[in-house]
Structure 1
Amino acid sequence: MIKYLSFILLLASIHAHATPIRIASDIWCPYVCENQKGYIVELTQRAFEIQNQKVEFITIPYKRALVELQRNNIDAVLALTPSAIANNNLVSANVVLGYNTNDFYTLVDSQESFSYISDLNFTQQAAVVTGYDYGVELDAWLNAHTNSYFASGSDPLAMNIIRLVKGRHSVIIDNKNVIEYTASQLNLSQQLRYAGTIGKPVPLYVGFSQQNQANAIILANGIALLKDNGEYQSIMNKYKLLPKISYDKSRYKHLHKYLPVLN
């Protein structure tokens, strides 16, 4: 088995040096940030670079990334849950690069709290990002309630936060780290309130198409190498969660184009 895997890696390596691996994701900072930053981006990039494999990152909406992966226009998508891997018939090589939670945020003066799906029955409107996987129960609830809002576009979470501040929603659902990071870049952190978490943390993977199983093995090998030489922990230490998020010039400039809708 070891000889077989080594042979696959050797063949993949010969081809890989000439062709960059194309990896896509939407912005989901601090996991996946602009300008090829974010700890999952850096871990993935270094895992391939340490084996002399070039990587090309593409920022596109999450739902479109999955479509492009099915069409073989890209090779992998970052930060996918197990159900997203299974539903899209992808390969992950069982390399966990983080965990996701369904965290709930309201306006600061709200008294709502969320611990169970049934708690949502008493809220006015819940907002999420279209195409994301929120788990079987929560997905079923959102799809069964016609007033659920599914944001799309280049920065849907930012729009959900702004719409929450404007009173369009009563609660938004996403990962706590991502909500707090994005809100800080919009200067809206003081207007938001953490209102609970439903469900258990879910592992996140890099999802490869079936045609890229060899690259999935290369990623797994690279992550093991990074753990051995200490780079893995160094990158994780740099992205403390929640990270120090005082000011990110590029992120701030990108998000502030949305702020006029608040006026």
Structure 2
Amino acid sequence: MTSPTSSTRLRAVVTGASSGIGAATVRRLSAEGWDVVAVARREAKLEALAAETGAQVQVADVTSEQEVARLVASVTAAGPVHALVNNAGGALGTDTIEQGSAEDWQKMFDVNVLGVLRVTQGFLPALRASGRGDVLVMSSTAGHIAYEGGGGYVAAKHGAHSIAATLRLELAGEPVRVIEIAPGMVATEEFTLKRVGGDAEKAAKVYEGVEMPLTAEDVADGIVWTLTRPHHVNVDLLVLRPIAQAAQHKVARNSGL
């Protein structure tokens, strides 16, 4: 992997950066020599990440148009932007369609779909102006195939996938790549726990018997790899799964684990 030199130092904005894949991406990009702006709602976690990595931090909620506007104005006033990593997202609930919570669905759409829209719209002028911009959308294997009990999240991540696919067509001929990362089973400290309402036992069962699910660092490695390809190379879609997960419904589980 080639790091930017001091004369071509690149700058990235990473949303959802306070934990999990976002925080791991900030660490990896910083280690690769990028200037990184870490964005999330939780200021204390961002400050700890900044102390560790040297990243700049911006507190913002991607579901707020006003906060996104302030974020864009602050970041672009401080310099060029070469990459936007739309990582902020999340899942709520495992209900069937029949029993699904419209409130949970609305929250998932607001962050996974409209959050990507707001932030991407805000930074596109700066990405164009950089002459070698990247928009990276974090979708999911849930954005490509449905599964029971995942209707709201599946629909939201299909929306994120559609944003990436459509934007790539609309920007054809411009100096902006559009990259989609679609992870499968990733064991992070918060994602599944939040999805099941804080029930640690229920969250643990999701990965029970699965030998080595993906980690946040595995996904960050994929993100950084796509961003550091020569800029004429566009990785349209990168699907990442642990070897134990052959497909959305085919997971090898070892009863001895």
Same fold (TM over 0.5): no
Structure-2-length-normalised TM-score: 0.30
State the structure with more CA Rg.
1
Structure-1-length-normalised TM-score: 0.30
The answer to which structure, 1 or 2, has the higher relative contact order (CA under 8 A, 6+ apart) is 1
